[in-house]
Amino acid sequence: MSRAYLKSILRAVRQSLARFLAIFAIVALGVGFLAGLWSTTPDMRLSLDTYYDQQRMADVYIKATMGLTEEDIATLSALPEVDSLLPARVADVLVDTIDDGRLTTRVYGLPWTQLNGEQPLAVNQWQLVAGRLPESPEECLIEQGDAYLADLELGAVLRIVTDGENGDLFATTEFTVVGVVASPFYFSNEREPSNVGKGRLEVVIYVADSCYDLDVYTDVYIVSAAATELLTFSDAYEEHMEAFVARLEELGEERSNLRYAEIYGEGQDELDKARAELAEAEEEAARELADAWQEITDARRQLAEARIELDRGYADLAEARSKLAHEKAEAEAQLAEKEQELEQARQELEQGEASLAAALQAGLIGPAQAEVMRQQLDQGWEQYQIGVAALEGAKAELTQQMAEAEAQLAQAELDLERGEREYAEGLRELVKGEADYWRARAEVEAELNSARADIEEAARELEELEMPTWYVLDRNANVSFASFEINTEKVQAIATVFPVFFLLVAALVSLASMTRMIEEERTQLGIMKALGYSKGAIMEKYIGYCGLASLAGSVVGLVVGFRYIPAVIWQVFASMYKLPTLYTPFRWSFALVATGSALLLTMLVTVYACNRALSEKPASLMRPRPPQAGKRILLERVTSLWSRLTFSQKATARNLFRYKKHFYMTVMGVAGCAALLLTGFGLQNSIDVLANAQFNAILQYQLTIDYAEDVSIPAQLEDWLQQQEQVLAYTPAHGERGTVYQEDRKVYTTIYVPQDESSFAQFIALQERASGVALDLTASPVIISETLARALRLQPGHVLAIENADEIKAQLTVAAITENYVGSYIYLSATAYEAAFGQEAKANTVLAQTVPLETAAQDELLSALLQLKDVERAEFIDQAKHSFDHLVASIDFLVVIIILAAGALAMIVLYNLININIEERRRELATLRVLGFHNEEVAGYMFRETAILTAIGTLVGMPLGKLLHAFVIRQAESSDLMLGQSIEPLSYLWAVLLTLVFAALVCLVMARKLRQIQMVDSMKAIE
Residues at the site binding another protein, with contacts judged by CB under 8 A: 626-631, 646-648, 650-651, 654-655, 658, 923-924, 926-935, 937, 1015-1016, 1018-1019, 1021-1022
**Measured from the CB atom, is 14 or 631 closer to another protein?**
631
**Measured from the CB atom, is 155 or 932 closer to another protein?**
932
- Shortest Å distance, C-beta 658 to another protein: 6
Among 852, 846, 892, smallest CA distance to 872 is for: 846
- Shortest Å distance, C-beta 948 to another protein: 14
Task: Name 793's Cβ contacts closer than 8 Å, sequence gap at least 6.
Answer: none
Task: Name 307's Cβ contacts closer than 8 Å, sequence gap at least 6.
Answer: 423
Containing 815, the helix (H) or strand (E) segment is none
- Shortest Å distance, C-beta 934 to another protein: 6
- Shortest Å distance, C-beta 920 to another protein: 11
- Shortest Å distance, C-beta 554 to another protein: 37
Sign of CA dihedral 272, 277, 279, 280: positive
- Shortest Å distance, C-beta 891 to another protein: 47
Residue 825's beta-bridge partner residues? 750
Containing 141, the helix (H) or strand (E) segment is strand 139-143
C-alpha to C-alpha distances, 627 to 519, 657, 660, 933, 1022, nearest whole angstrom? 11, 15, 15, 22, 9
**Measured from the CB atom, is 655 or 981 closer to another protein?**
655
Task: Name 376's Cβ contacts closer than 8 Å, sequence gap at least 6.
Answer: 352
3-state secondary structure of 484: helix
**Measured from the CB atom, is 284 or 936 closer to another protein?**
936
- Shortest Å distance, C-beta 535 to another protein: 28
**Measured from the CB atom, is 260 or 642 closer to another protein?**
642
**Measured from the CB atom, is 932 or 985 closer to another protein?**
932
- Shortest Å distance, C-beta 1009 to another protein: 17
Among 897, 888, 676, 685, smallest CA distance to 40 is for: 897
- Shortest Å distance, C-beta 514 to another protein: 22
**Measured from the CB atom, is 173 or 655 closer to another protein?**
655
- Shortest Å distance, C-beta 1004 to another protein: 20
**Integer Cα distance of 700 and 136 in angstroms:** 46
**Measured from the CB atom, is 7 or 632 closer to another protein?**
632
**Measured from the CB atom, is 745 or 1020 closer to another protein?**
1020
Task: Name 236's Cβ contacts closer than 8 Å, sequence gap at least 6.
Answer: 230
Task: Name 697's Cβ contacts closer than 8 Å, sequence gap at least 6.
Answer: 765
Residue type, 955: L
Buried b (16+ CB within 10 A) or exposed e, 838-869: eeebebbbbbbbbeebeeeebeebbeebbebe
**Measured from the CB atom, is 55 or 648 closer to another protein?**
648
Containing 122, the helix (H) or strand (E) segment is none
**Integer Cα distance of 123 and 222 in angstroms:** 7
Among 530, 539, 542, 825, smallest CA distance to 698 is for: 825
- Shortest Å distance, C-beta 931 to another protein: 6
**Integer Cα distance of 83 and 227 in angstroms:** 9
**Integer Cα distance of 405 and 324 in angstroms:** 7
Asked if residues 915 and 22 have their Cβ atoms less than 8 Å apart, the reply is yes
Q: At 217, phi and psi to the nearest 5?
A: -95, 150
- Shortest Å distance, C-beta 895 to another protein: 41
C-alpha to C-alpha distances, 593 to 32, 425, 554, nearest whole angstrom? 12, 113, 11
DSSP secondary structure letters along 529-568? HHTT--HHHHHHHHHHHHHHHHHHHHHHHHHHHHHHHHHH
Sign of CA dihedral 962, 967, 971, 977: positive
* CA 411 and chain centroid, separation: 93
- Shortest Å distance, C-beta 650 to another protein: 6
**Measured from the CB atom, is 441 or 650 closer to another protein?**
650
**Integer Cα distance of 811 and 67 in angstroms:** 33
3-state secondary structure of 277: helix
- Shortest Å distance, C-beta 634 to another protein: 15
Alpha helices, H only, 819-934: 830-837, 855-866, 878-920, 922-930
**Measured from the CB atom, is 395 or 654 closer to another protein?**
654
Length of the chain: 1023
**Measured from the CB atom, is 346 or 654 closer to another protein?**
654
**Integer Cα distance of 252 and 61 in angstroms:** 12
**Measured from the CB atom, is 155 or 626 closer to another protein?**
626
3-state secondary structure of 974: strand
**Measured from the CB atom, is 596 or 627 closer to another protein?**
627
- Shortest Å distance, C-beta 631 to another protein: 8
- Shortest Å distance, C-beta 945 to another protein: 11
Among 766, 786, 763, 782, smallest CA distance to 774 is for: 766
- Shortest Å distance, C-beta 613 to another protein: 19
**Measured from the CB atom, is 172 or 927 closer to another protein?**
927
**Measured from the CB atom, is 307 or 923 closer to another protein?**
923
- Shortest Å distance, C-beta 648 to another protein: 8
| β strands within 566-679, DSSP E | none
C-alpha dihedral over 315, 317, 323, 329, to 10 degrees?
-130
**The three-state (H, E, C) secondary structure of 96-117, written as one string:** EECCCCEEEEEEEEECHHHHCC
**Measured from the CB atom, is 515 or 767 closer to another protein?**
515
